[in-house]
Amino acid sequence: MMKTWRTGFWPDGDAIDRRMFWPTSPSQLSTIGANTRWLTVVGVVRNARLRGPVAANGTSGTYYLPYAVTAPRDVGYVIRTEGEPTAIVRDLRSALSQVDREVPLFDVRTMSERTQLALLSRTNTMHLATLFAAVAVFLSAIGLYGVLAYFVGQRAREIGIRLAVGSTQSAIVGLVLREGLSMAIAGVVLGALGCLAFGRLVASQLYGVNPSDPGVMLLTTLTLCAVAALACIVPARRAAHVDVMRTLSAP
């Protein structure tokens, strides 16, 4: 059974041996004349990204011409290597000079460098967003510390009574940690729901990362909980070491 190769130009049939005209001027875009140049399809290639790895979704008609038909002004090569890619640049220059010493070799980059250049604008934006996120986490930790410090101050008499009737310091530390972590977990849950709700808005700014990726969300949750736990330690230790006699005798 012969395979049928469909394309965007001929979605309802085989593209092989079909003809298409090649306009050489704007006036030939919609008009076929005596000087119209026709091309015959001899093969179909799979879809490729032509404008970077984060180009907008969508397809456009593209055709490849033999070098004998139309010689381009410059030629690009993609070379696969097994070792360090930059190690073959000298060999490439030597091989090219043996063919023609006047032909320059320029803009030699690895695929990772090409990808980084294509993502440069988005990488800078994400670095700035990461900086703002770090500042937000720091401010959140300070705010959580302040809330727990106020909590310890307001319940100092209660904590003193607990210690006086036999409660241990570890139990007091656990009490304060539970109060702080419960607020942190509530914030994390609300943040996760907001991430799921607004993830589509930032999906176009991400590359290779799903805005609702479970691994990323788990790591973020653990990081925020760890920061919250660190912010709770000082108030918790302060609550566990209150002076019972002074606290109970205070007016």
**Mean of pLDDT values over 76-105:** 83
The per-residue pLDDT for range 32-56, each reduced to its tens digit, is: 777 777 888 888 888 777 766 665 5
> Rounded to whole angstroms, what are the CA distances from 220 to 69, 80, 112, 125, 127?
55, 37, 27, 19, 16
Give the pLDDT of residue 1.
38
Instruction: Quote the radius of gyration of the chain (alpha carbons, Å).
Output: 33
When the pLDDT of each residue in the chain is averaged and rounded to a whole number, the result is 76
Crossing angle between the packed helical segments 214-240 and 120-154, to the nearest 10 degrees: 30
Q: What number of CA atoms fall less than 13 Å from residue 29's CA on the CB side?
A: 3
List, in sequence order, every beta strand (DSSP E) within 10-154: 19-22, 37-40
Crossing angle between the packed helical segments 214-240 and 169-202, to the nearest 10 degrees: 150
List, in sequence order, every beta strand (DSSP E) within the chain: 19-22, 37-40
CA distance 143 to 146: 5
**Mean of pLDDT values over 49-70:** 69
The per-residue pLDDT for range 3-24, each reduced to its tens digit, is: 555 566 777 778 888 888 777 7
**Mean of pLDDT values over 54-59:** 59
